[in-house]
Each structure stands twice: as structure tokens, then as C-alpha cells.
Amino acid sequence: MVRAGEADRLDRFLSERLDMSRTRVQGLIEDGHVEVDGRAARKSERVEAGDRVTVAIPPPAPVDIPAEDLPLSVVFEDDHLLVVDKSAGMVVHPAPGHRTGTLVNALLFHVRDLSGVGGRLRPGIVHRLDRETSGLLVVAKSDRAHNGLADALRARRIKRLYSAACWGHLAESPLTVDAPIGRDPGDRKRMAVVEDGRRAITRVRVREHWLRAELLDVALQTGRTHQIRVHMAHVGHPVVGDRVYGVGWERGMGGPDRAWARELARRTPRQFLHAAELAFDHPITGQPLRFHAPLPPDLEAAAAWARDASHTGGQP
């Protein structure tokens, strides 16, 4: 039983006092596990001083996702969370066609009692990376940590910096791209800059200038699906190796630099996008945490060639 204090939305009131995400609290309300003064509650109602709020928290439903002993690069771990360096090619959570071999499968093997944290199908997952994007992810090991990290993400207090190679040369650096993102009306499997999309902000700075491409530092202020890839394609500089939003872009280049661009494309085995830095305050202790993951070997090899060939007029 929880006794209400001053008037507040029920879902917010319970989220703060039970150290649960509002999404999970709303699920408890919708499933009939919350009562206000002996009657079934509604998630949008407000509770006031003197209201008696009763919550019956059911045990975590069994997760039908198998735990698998998969390679997992753990950068940091304590009792509340862990930070992993995800390899390219690994899907974050199970989905149709990817029931096994995902990061969640590996986490369920590595972390005891993770199955009830943050929901059954995405246990512990606070944010995600595309399958072909490598780099840093933070994972919660308790509902309290999950709730704190989710709140920090919504409040933009988790700093995420990516390394990305993009075609062409930016007209200005630093550059801020502020353009709404939603489903592509012509292809629902893709995202696009659309007028009625959700606001998305990406900040870009050139780190290395190559012959017909650049290595960029890219900071996310929001976290929309495919945000970096969509925004860079939108401004005419798609991510190198992006087979959805930048496919074949290098073939349109003319002049003597075309061969350089085609060789870089050949040497880039996937989209050149890596979550390189992650910084946030620990959701339980408040300790500032900052992590860095260097480019993995496949992308570093492509970048090394691009640097050398840029200095030798397109010849390695």
C-alpha cells in the first residue's frame, strides 16, 4: 500500500515511489493491479492527499527468450548497470527473424535475474543501436537503475558521441541538423525527414578531412530511429557504407576522385557508424561516468586507407 500525498498523476506518483519506469507502472494499471480507495485505477487520474493507493506487483512473467553464452565485451559493470561495446552484426533485442544471437540473449546469460527489468521482451535495454552499428550501450540491471537511466535519456542527460564517415565535404563545421523524423510515406520500413515527424537534432563536427569524404564526430541531442543516417542523407552527406540511405552514392561522383570513392566503398564492410563515447551520471550513486570505445578493426582499417590515400592523391 502507498499513501498519496499531494495531487499528482497516478502513473507519475507510483513511478517515483516504486522506482519503476512509467511505462511499467502504466502496464500494471492497465492490467488491473492498481486500486485507488478500493476501486480499479485509471492511469491518467490524479491522486490526492488521503487517497489509499494499493499496488499488487505480480512476479516477473517468464521470458521466452533463451539465454546464450555469446561473446560480450563488457566495458564496465557494477550491481546496478553495465556498459557493453556491441559488435557490428549483433541485433540488440529479439524480433521476427532474430530470436537468437542478440545482445539480449547474451545479457540473459551474463546477468542473473535480468528478465524482469524494464519489460519482458527487452530486459535491461535502455537505448539501442542498429544491427550494423558498433559501440557503447548502457544496460540496467534493476528497475531502479532502468528508471533512472530512462529518465536521464528523456531529459537528454546521457551524452552519446558517434564516429561516422560521410561522403562529400560539409559546407560548415560545426553543423546542427534540426529536422523532424518519421516513417517514410513511400516505404514504411525506412525513416525519413517528414513534416509531421518527431523533432530530431543532430550536431556534427569534422574530425578528419579526406579526399571525397570526412570522418565526423556526431552528437545526438535526440534519439530517433536511424537518426544519424537519415539526417546525414538529408543534408547530402550519407554515411559511407549505408546500404539503405546512401546506397551507391559514390558511383555518382565524377572526375579523377571517383576511383578513390569507389575504393573506400569497397573497403568499408558496413555502414561506417560507431558509438564511440557515452557519458552519464550513475542513476544510483550520482557518480559521473564516461566511456570511450575506439574504432573497431574493420572501420579503423578503412579510415587508415582513406587517410593515406587522401595524402597521396588517391593512391594508397
Is 64 part of the annotated catalytic residue set?
Answer: no
- Separation of alpha carbons 91 and 314, rounded Å: 35
Residues 62-88 have pLDDT tens digits of: 557 888 999 999 999 999 999 999 999
Q: Is the model's pTM score more than 0.85?
A: no
Residues 101-151 have pLDDT tens digits of: 899 999 989 987 776 676 665 788 899 899 999 999 999 998 889 989 999
3-class DSSP state for residue 109? helix
- Separation of alpha carbons 78 and 109, rounded Å: 16
How many angstroms separate the most distant Cα atoms in the chain?
78
Residues 171-208 have pLDDT tens digits of: 999 999 999 999 898 887 899 999 989 999 999 999 99
Q: Which of 51, 85, 130, 298 is catalytic?
A: 130
Kind and range of the H or E element at 260?
helix 258-267
* Per-residue model confidence (pLDDT) at position 86: 97
* Per-residue model confidence (pLDDT) at position 61: 52
The answer to whether 84 and 128 are in contact (CB under 8 A) is no
Per-residue DSSP letter, 310: H
* Per-residue model confidence (pLDDT) at position 46: 86
Burial of 120-136, coded b for 16+ CB within 10 Å and e otherwise, reads eebbbbbbbbbbbbbbb
Task: Tell me which residue of 202, 227, 199 sits closest to 217, measured CA to CA.
Answer: 202
